[in-house]
Chains A and B, each alone.
Chain A
Amino acid sequence: MAAPLRTRVGVIVFPGTNCEHDVVEAFEALGARAELIWHGSASVEGLDAVVLPGGFAHGDYLRPGAIARFSPVMEAVRQYAAEGGPVVGICNGFQVLTEAHLLPGALQKNRGLTFLCQMTEVEVTSDRCALTAGVAVGRRLKVPINHFEGNYTADPGTLQTLEDEGRVVLRYVANPNGSAHDIAGVCNEGGNVVGLMPHPERASAELLGSSDGLVLLSALLAWAGAPLVPAGRSA
């Protein structure tokens, strides 16, 4: 019997990205095939999912994500997302996705101007996205954060739209950084583009203090292996 096709996850590497190997390892542990994609690449063809990992793309110069947005690979990611491909930005990757206008809002410096590196608890508040599909709404997950600019900001109209459309997908149980509406993660209209500040790959084994991150990464693999418009979602 032929082995089932393994889901292919592309992990984008910008100069200054530093979480790519952790992300690859976490996905490989789940049975997927993960590969690094240099930011100068103009294609993300053949991938079942794209992840923008954490770090300091282009040194976070100007603003986090402001320069990374213009990397050649981002045009390919934009196209991929427009066709419904799942794209997840973790931490710095979330910042890149907002700067690229693939997700609404912006990530400001933390309230109190403190760099935060700690375990947090987040609640799944919507299952309408590639990272939480199939996960029970209300489920709490222990996933660490590691950021200076994680304070989610958007104008009141945008926040209202996100709430009305169930696009706030993860919320902090105890808000660590001043994020509007305790937002830890949001998605686009289609649910295929998701950004979150916590690092699921750093909660991928009990030895790391939590394996709850695997819940999210597994959900992404399930979504990536399914048709682009999964059953139960109105097209």
Chain B
Amino acid sequence: MGRFEALVEVQLRPGISDPQGATIERALPALGFTGVSGVRAGKAFRLSVEALDDEQARHIVEDLSERLLANPVIEAASVSIIAAR
């Protein structure tokens, strides 16, 4: 068994309205940032998981992401295994 560090990014699915992203985007010109568009707000989770290998670690994290970290009705999770220890 090894430990694997994972990063989970949860984003709203395309087409789902994003009131947070829209509000951030509207605030940017006031700070002098012009020409910025397509702001989408999401969440990031870092976690460490015990697994036999990279592939099993990814499987576990994808499973828990689907069942808890993301609401599949409006969100999608992408999992990266970033390091093994």
Contact = CB atoms under 8 A, between A and B. Distances in A.
B17 A112 contact: no
Nearest to A177: B19
A231 interface: no
B20 A113 contact: yes
B19 A153 contact: no
A109 B19 contact: yes
Chain A interface helix/strand/loop/mixed: loop
A112 B68 contact: no
**Size band of the B side of the interface?**
10 to 19
Contact of A153 (B17, B23, B68): B17
Contacts of B73: 98, 104-106, 153-155
Contacts of B71: 63, 66, 99, 106
Given A111-B19, A112-B19, A106 B69 contact: no
A148 B53 CA distance: 42
B69 A108 contact: no
B74 A62 contact: no
24 contacts: A66-B68, A98-B73, A99-B71, A104-B73, A105-B73, A106-B73, A106-B74, A108-B16, A108-B17, A108-B74, A110-B19, A111-B17, A111-B19, A112-B23, A151-B17, A151-B19, A153-B16, A153-B17, A153-B73, A153-B74, A155-B15, A155-B73, A178-B17, A178-B19
Interface of B: 15-17, 19-20, 23, 68-69, 71, 73-74
